[in-house]
Amino acid sequence: MKQFYLLLLSTVIISSTTFAQEIQQKNEQKGHYNISKFKQLNEELPTPNKQHTASGAPGYQYTQQQVDYNMDIVLDTENHRISGYQTITYHNNSKDYLDYLWVQLDQNVRAANSKTKDINGDRPRAAYTPSSFTKNFMGKPFDGGFKIEALKDAGGNDLNYTINNTMMRIDLSTALAPGNTFTFDIKWWYNINNYKEDRGRSGFEIFEDGNTAYAIAQFYPRLAVYNNVEGWQNLQFWGSSEFALEFGDFEVSITTPKNYILNATGELQNPKEVLSKTQYKRYVEAQTTYNNPIFIVTPEDALKASKEKSNKTKTWKFSAKNVRDFAFATSNKYIWDAMAVKLNNKTVMAYSLYPEEGKALWQEHSTRVVANTLEVYSKHTFDYPYPHASSINVEMGMEYPMISFNFGRGDKNGNFTERTKKGMIGVITHEIGHNFFPMIVNSDERQWTWMDEGINSFVEILAEYKYDSIMFPMTKYPKNIVGYMKGDQSRLAPIMTQGDNTFNFGANAYSKPAAGLFILRQTIMGPELFDHAFKTYATRWKFKHPTPADFFRSMEDASAMDLDWFWRGWFYTTGNNDIGIKEVKKYHITDKPTEQAIKRYARFGISKDDMPPSLYLVSEDSDEFTADLKNNKAEDFSTLSNYIDENFSSEEKATLKSPKYFYELKFEKPGDLVMPIIVEFEYEDATKERKQYPAQIWRKNDAEVTKVFPTSKAIKKITVDPDQQTADVDLSNNSWPKTTETKFEKFKKKQIKS
């Protein structure tokens, strides 16, 4: 075939003024650093090493500490007090000598002298109820916080220690060498708070019938993390950013009143001693019941226990292997149902404990939601490794290994709204999901809240959709984050901000990272690539301490996708996405040389008669747009038949497709973020077609780009991001032709008239 050219009259496919040239013009030709949105993250991420590798995987020299706990706990329900005696064995698996150990005393956030309230500003309220006035200005502070009665080494010698708010430093007489262990004992107690009054993460509640339920967590002195990234992770606990903990083995005995039912982290070691014969029989039966939950403790059992008064006690014994924390819940009002869940070749138990007040809602859904969550999370990460996952009806939402506290109750008559039901299903999914992030993929919650809350909130979307796709449609994502992202920039912080320093904790740590990962999966990477990379990250870092860099690098390493532009924009800045259609021009094809083409060839000494065979695009708004073109005489190549006969082989002519129209699409990007351009074309015959341009289309011009789109049918409408897949904050510029005027355009018209 002869040489064949297709010339565009007045534009090029991508704007000829590059991004770098624009910046140079603005800076009067001054030099500048690389400010491209596609610059690699090398400057932001820590240097890879033998512990945290460049691929995002743990290195061959990766180490982490182990801490084992043996505890005897007594719950005093008369005085709402808990006391404990615990033996801690600290394993120094690092290569460092340790002169001291840091222990977390999280209950000190409620101590009478706590500084927690002092770090936040406040203003006078317009009005105070008597109880709130008393609590704020007249009441005696709650006497919370740990009371340390003894701290001794294995030989019974007193240990020197210093308490700094919620952290306690234990000074060692001899540095703990690599590979060695240190064992010590702590005796302590504290007053349990009423969580309904102070909204704490643990505590007790009193029901209208006078009975009590306890949700107990952060209840024992816990070792802080010592790692090869930050050394001791001993940031203070101010009440918001949660906990960083080491893995270890737990042996725990908990003494409660005899009529109480209890569940906790770990496997119950003495079920025959603490359950009745009938309850134990149901307990065993539940372990092979896979389809529907059955009662271990029935509503009748719970009602009977709630009316009993006894001074006798019983002791529940639990063993938990390779967990990072321990929590429990207990009450004389608890109903307990259970169902077995098959995960490949393993069976785990799904448990729910709830009072009569929660029965109407929880009996139907709680345990089934637990099972669904375990199945979906296991599919996207790794099989759930622990023996059970328990959901406890407590009026809060909080998570611990194998056990979580979840809200959701009906009214006095057992009636509940769809909103209450949806909230309960959502919180159970979320808190059970936390078993994976961060209870197993053990990120530093205090420093990087998004690594547990945000990642977990993302997988929660998939699990909720699986449970009830009508109640939890995925179409609301990522639109749910738009309002936050286009908010006041002075009240926004990047996701990569320590949790205590964010303005909008929920949106910053939960919603925005979850929305970002949703965009990555659904729009940028696609489910197949994303799911493999995400599973790779989770598998690499289960039972280990990952950092943000490990997540970012693993996602790229396992997908062969350069996502640095996305991490930088979505996680390191407060920018938002706004992509629109700036201009659309329609072109027709002709074989008649245009003036521009003639001039272009003339520069090389080629006359009109010597120009090679070519086709030319003529814009409808140009002087050269003739009546013949307007009447579409050339659009189907009918006037070019001689040209085709001369320049195309018979095989080529047989497969030749003839676009009738060529559209020059000019996209603008007023927003800071780069994103793919998703375009929907609606033709005059009502059919539709979609085209997605990768985000890299913006790499050389961050303001606008131009593309040529050929089609055999005339376009009626063009829409950018028709399903709102990219969290676009301004939809007014997303359509062509424009159907509505922007506020600025209305303002301009008003100014002209006046």
Q: How confident is the model at residue 661 (pLDDT cuts 50, 70, 90)?
A: confident
Q: Is residue 48 classed exposed, middle or buried when 0-12, 13-18 and 19+ CB atoms within 10 A define those classes?
A: middle
Domain spans of the chain? Answer: 63-246, 662-753
Report the mean per-residue pLDDT for the chain.
90
- What are the residue ranges of helices labelled H in 692-742? none
Q: What is the pLDDT of residues 424-451, one digit of tens each?
A: 999 999 999 999 999 999 999 999 999 9
pLDDT at 174: 97
Q: What is the pLDDT of residues 529-552, one digit of tens each?
A: 999 999 999 999 999 999 999 999
Q: What is the pLDDT of residues 453-474, one digit of tens each?
A: 999 999 999 999 999 999 999 9
DSSP calls for 474-531:
GGGTTGGGHHHHTS-GGG---SSS-GGG-SSHHIIIIIHHHHHHHHIIIIII-HHHHH
Q: How confident is the model at residue 113 (pLDDT cuts 50, 70, 90)?
A: confident
Q: What is the pLDDT of residues 732-746, one digit of tens each?
A: 999 999 865 555 455
Distances from the Cα of 205 to the Cα of 144, 145, 212, 331, angstroms: 16, 18, 6, 10
Q: What is the pLDDT of residues 156-175, one digit of tens each?
A: 999 999 999 999 999 999 99
**DSSP strands (E only) in 92-202:** 98-104, 147-153, 160-164, 167-176, 181-191
Nearest CA to 323 out of 267, 254, 397, 379 is that of 267
Residue 377: phi and psi, rounded to 5, are -65, -40
Q: How confident is the model at residue 140 (pLDDT cuts 50, 70, 90)?
A: confident
Report whether 169 contacts 101 (CB < 8 A). yes
Report whether 547 contacts 52 (CB < 8 A). yes
Residue 585 has pLDDT above 90, yes or no: yes
CA dihedral of 708, 711, 715, 718, whole degrees rounded to 10: -50
DSSP-derived 3-state class of residue 678: strand
**Tokens for 343?**
């995960």
Residue 11 has pLDDT above 50, yes or no: no
Choose between 533 and 415: higher pLDDT. Answer: 533
Nearest CA to 542 out of 432, 378, 427 is that of 378
Give the whole-number percent of the chain exceeding pLDDT 70.
90
Choose between 638 and 103: higher pLDDT. Answer: 103
pLDDT at 2: 39
pLDDT at 745: 53
Residue 262 has pLDDT above 90, yes or no: yes
pLDDT at 252: 98
- Bridge partner list, 667: 581, 705
pLDDT at 620: 83
pLDDT at 281: 98
pLDDT at 640: 58
Give the whole-number percent of the chain exceeding pLDDT 90.
75
- What are the residue ranges of helices labelled H in 218-355? 271-274, 277-286, 299-306
Residue 116 has pLDDT above 80, yes or no: no
DSSP-derived 3-state class of residue 322: strand
Q: How confident is the model at residue 18 (pLDDT cuts 50, 70, 90)?
A: low
Q: What is the pLDDT of residues 330-372, one digit of tens each?
A: 999 999 999 999 999 999 999 999 999 999 999 999 999 999 9
Length of the chain: 754
Which architecture characterizes domain 63-246 according to CATH?
Sandwich (2.60)
Residue 419: phi and psi, rounded to 5, are -65, -45
Q: Quick one: average pLDDT of 663-689?
A: 97
**Rounded to the nearest 10 degrees, what angle do helices 450-467 and 356-380 cross at?**
100
